[in-house]
Amino acid sequence: MLCEACEKIFCGRQMLSEIPSRTYNPHHSSLQSIIDASASGCWICHRLLAYINRKIDVNVTPGGISSLIKSSAWHLCRRPYQKSWRLIFYFGDDNDYFHNFTVVSRDEYGGPDTNHASIAGDSTMSDAALAQASKWYRECLLKHTSCNTSLVSKCLMPTRLLRIDEGEKYVRLVVTKEEIVQDSRFSTLSHCWGNSNVLKLTISNLESFKAGISLERLPKTFIEAIFVARKLSIPYIWIDSLCIIQDSDDDWQTESVSMEDVYGNSILNVMATASKNSHEGLSRPRDPKMLEICPAIQSKWEDAENDLFYLFNEEIWSEKLYSGPLLERGWVLQERVLSPRSLHFCDSELLWECREMASCETYPAGLPEACKQENFKVRPLSSGSDLYERKYLIDGAKKTMKGIAYDRWVRWINLYSRTYLTKDSDKLAAVSALAKCTRAVFDDVYVAGLWRSIFADQLVWCGLFTYRPKDYRAPTWSWASVDGLLLLPSIRPNTKYHIEIDEVRVTPVSSVDDTGSISDGYFRARGLLICDTLVNDQRYGKFPFLAGKDKDTDVITSLDAPADQCRERVIVLPILTNSDGPDHEDYWFHALLLQERAMSPNGFYTRIGYASVVNSYVKYKLGLDHPQSLSKLKFPGNHSGSTSESNKSTQNGGGADFDVELDESFSPRHNYKTTPTRPPPSTPTPLIMPQGYSSRDVGDPSQIKKNKQSMADLKLRRLTELNNRLREDLERERIPVSQAAKSIIQYTSQTKDFMVPSIWGTVDKKDDPYAPQQSGGCCLVM
Give the CA angle between residues 761, 766, 772 to the nearest 5°.
55
Give the CA angle between residues 409, 412, 416 to the nearest 5°.
140
Computed from CA positions of residues 392, 396, 397, 398, in that sequence, does the dihedral angle turn out positive or negative? positive
Give the CA angle between residues 349, 350, 354 to the nearest 5°.
150
CA–CA distance, 317 with 367 (Å, rounded to integer): 9
Q: Residue 25: which of 6, 42, 43, 44 has the closest Cα?
A: 6
Q: Which residues pair with 686 in a beta bridge?
A: none
364, 116 Cβ separation under 8 angstroms: yes
CA–CA distance, 715 with 623 (Å, rounded to integer): 12
Q: What is the pLDDT of residue 652?
A: 30
Interval 311-357: pLDDT, tens: 988 888 888 888 889 999 999 999 999 999 999 999 999 999 998 88
Amino acid at 370: A
Q: Which helix (H) or strand (E) holds 615?
A: helix 615-622
Q: Give every CB contact of residue 337 below 8 A, 6+ residues apart in sequence.
A: 378, 379, 380, 381, 412, 434
Count CA atoms closer than 13 A to 488's CA, side-chain side: 29
What is the value of pTM for the model shown? 0.75
303, 13 Cβ separation under 8 angstroms: yes
CA–CA distance, 726 with 625 (Å, rounded to integer): 30
The whole-angstrom distance between residue 270's C-alpha and the CA centroid of its chain comes to 24
Q: What is the pLDDT of residue 681?
A: 35
The four Cα atoms 243, 245, 251, 257 give a dihedral, to 10 degrees, of 40
Q: Residue 61: which of 53, 51, 50 has the closest Cα?
A: 53
CA–CA distance, 304 with 310 (Å, rounded to integer): 17
CA dist 121 to 128, 290, 292, 347, 450, Å? 6, 11, 12, 14, 47
CA–CA distance, 113 with 99 (Å, rounded to integer): 23
Q: What is the largest CA-CA distance in the chain?
A: 98
C-alpha radius of gyration, the chain, whole number: 31
Q: What is the pLDDT of residue 674?
A: 28
CA–CA distance, 213 with 450 (Å, rounded to integer): 43
CA–CA distance, 396 with 436 (Å, rounded to integer): 28
Interval 572-589: pLDDT, tens: 888 988 775 555 555 678
The Cβ of residue 135 has, within 10 Å, a number of other Cβ atoms equal to: 13
Q: Which helix (H) or strand (E) holds 301?
A: strand 300-301
237, 189 Cβ separation under 8 angstroms: yes
Amino acid at 117: A
Domain residue spans in the chain? 4-109, 127-289+317-378, 676-781
Computed from CA positions of residues 771, 774, 777, 780, in that sequence, does the dihedral angle turn out positive or negative? negative
Amino acid at 726: L
CA dist 186 to 92, 339, 367, 498, 651, Å? 51, 12, 28, 51, 46
Residues counted in the chain: 782
CA–CA distance, 181 with 156 (Å, rounded to integer): 12
Q: What is the pLDDT of residue 326?
A: 95
Give the CA angle between residues 58, 61, 67 to the nearest 5°.
100
Q: Residue 267: which of 193, 159, 341 has the closest Cα?
A: 341
232, 135 Cβ separation under 8 angstroms: no
For the chain, the distance separating the N- and C-terminal CA atoms, rounded to the nearest angstrom, is 72
Tell me which residues of the chain have a pLDDT lower than 50: 60, 383-398, 540-541, 549-550, 631-659, 663-712, 730-782
Q: Which residues pair with 609 in a beta bridge?
A: 559, 593
Q: Give every CB contact of residue 499 below 8 A, 6+ residues apart in sequence.
A: 456, 525, 526, 527, 573, 574, 575, 576, 660
Helix axes 220-231, 127-143, angle to 10 degrees: 50
Helix (DSSP H) and strand (DSSP E) numbers for the chain: 22, 35
476, 606 Cβ separation under 8 angstroms: yes
CA dist 118 to 10, 36, 189, 293, 367, Å? 27, 21, 30, 11, 19
Q: What is the pLDDT of residue 154?
A: 57
